[in-house]
Chains A and B, each alone.
Chain A
Amino acid sequence: EPEVTQTPSHQVTQMGQEVILRCVPISNHLYFYWYRQILGQKVEFLVSFYNNEISEKSEIFDDQFSVERPDGSNFTLKIRSTKLEDSAMYFCASSRRTTTGELFFGEGSRLTVL
């Protein structure tokens, strides 16, 4: 069964460093998302991406964050200068359509900022 894959599964970084989290969405999906889950809290929307551009973003997704689809398969989230409060599980998701909310999530990348 097709699935969303994410790398790395866990990354530890120093505060102020740049981090890139990578995702391979399901191949016939057109809509891509990043969500974040701080330990023990709910899943929060960061950004959605369609047709090579951001379609929606939350207040969390400030100038330190960027997303890119550098080729036909990868979808990346970059955090330019990490802060302690960026420590969280980051989930990539994809969907065929945008109107139903039926998202397929990856297993997540745990980011620990020291």
Chain B
Amino acid sequence: GQQLNQSPQSMFIQEGEDVSMNCTSSSIFNTWLWYKQDPGEGPVLLIALYKAGELTSNGRLTAQFGITRKDSFLNISASIPSDVGIYFCAGHDNAGNMLTFGGGTRLMVKP
């Protein structure tokens, strides 16, 4: 099946620092999405990207859909303690109904 490689697996940063994480795939996706999962809860959609090359912002979050449609990155600027959680990239190929998730990036923010 399709695989998404997400890196880094974890990050431990100081409050106020910027964060960058990315996802790569061996196959093409038509939609890239970024979800955040807080402890004990389900994933919550942060950003959805629909077009190759698209750059989208949501507050302090910025994500880009790679030109090749095989990668995406998520940046978080000026991190705050509530940014703590696990961030998952996900790809959707429109051919089916399923999302393929990356392995997640665990973000820890030191106040």
Contacts and interface: CB of A to CB of B under 8 A. Distances in A.
Given A43-B101, A56-B98, A58-B98, A108 B45 contact: no
A48 B88 CA distance: 20
B33 A102 contact: yes
A7 B99 CA distance: 23
Given A100-B48, A100-B92, A105 B42 contact: yes
Interface residues on A, range: 20 to 34
B97 A55 contact: yes
Interface residues on B, range: 20 to 34
B94 A42 contact: no
B103 A42 contact: yes
B43 interface: yes
B94 A99 contact: yes
Interface in A36-63: 41-45, 48, 50, 55-56, 58-59
B44 A42 contact: no
Interface string B1-43: 1000000000000000000000000000001010100001111
Interface in B54-104: 88, 90-92, 94, 96-104
A59 B45 CA distance: 25
Interface of B: 1, 31, 33, 35, 40-45, 48, 50, 88, 90-92, 94, 96-104
Interface of A: 4, 31, 33, 35, 41-45, 48, 50, 55-56, 58-59, 91, 93, 98-108
